[in-house]
Structure 1
């Protein structure tokens, strides 16, 4: 078991498994958000089910642990790689042929993704689940008072602000690059690849990343456009 925590391949395996788990969560989250476009009541029902219930709290803790483990091991591997390169790490960084840009910038992309997660948590999780956990049933939102389970109200409020929309769209771009490379890289580390399937996994990774990020972007742009072109509806 110690090899899993100490060896380079063990650390990469942990990163791969946690990464795949986070991708599955993002697929669920994206599908949940799209629901708000077609039925705000259905979206609020989901928010109610995922409120301060014990299973939702347990899931949130597990999700936080996955993110923390994924980031910590990414940081460890990045520092180890730089140490191994020694003086070469200060040389001019020329991207080798057939090496993707995302591959060379996965850690930076990950930092951007996690950085924006704090913005997302402060706008949604903190004012929804956390408020409920504190025993409150109302929360101030843009001069109004709403229920922390009224997820549609939060989406409509935040995605009506231009700076928020721009920030989230930048986030989605960084997320796409991170996921499109991370997916097939995780599959490769786990060992589910061969000369035939490697290119297929790369395509599947790009499709999965595109579906997730387009779904998020669609919801963001939809509510922004609806606010400004449908009289603030």
Structure 2
């Protein structure tokens, strides 16, 4: 279902293509950079990093075989497949061949138990002068019951934006660039998510999962429009280590 839902929005986050490119460019990786994408999905962030840094190499990890197949096809289409290795496995267990210049974890912090767990997990994987690009939800305003029900969340699952940045700094990192998703980016992502599922189900009415796809799209759309729209925000932060005090 997730692979189908992201068919029209391979970035798999409420972030526009131009914003992705701006975030990646700000990482300013060295020519021989190694990029690691944890929870890569269809690999869009990885591939855009490779396009931005023409001599870089990348390793991208995900558990979803359909998503990785799609990522591999996209890499071949863009002639980037000789510079990226897609790994099917648990992002929590993967160890890169050397310290990474850029570690990506956008919309996948739940794999590590949240933002704080993600920052701790990636710390030993990042080169001394390297960077982390993390994408995380935050509360635009205090969530009501409708939002929490739609997201199957509790108020403690996220902080507000200031609290999110504070948490980052408490864990030894500091933002050098960031992007808060705009309402239009959110709407485009949600309409794409529900629309991709709906279109597939309508085009394949005899498929075993057609009715389930329609139901999933309908439920998701209702939860978004009547629940968390304007309540849940999303921020991408480009982080570098804060030097220790002397």
Higher helix share: 1
Which of the pair has the greater relative contact order for Cα pairs under 8 Å at 6+ separation?
1
Is TM-score (shorter-chain normalized) higher than 0.5?
no
Higher strand share: 2
TM-score by length of structure 1 reads 0.29
TM-score by length of structure 2 reads 0.28
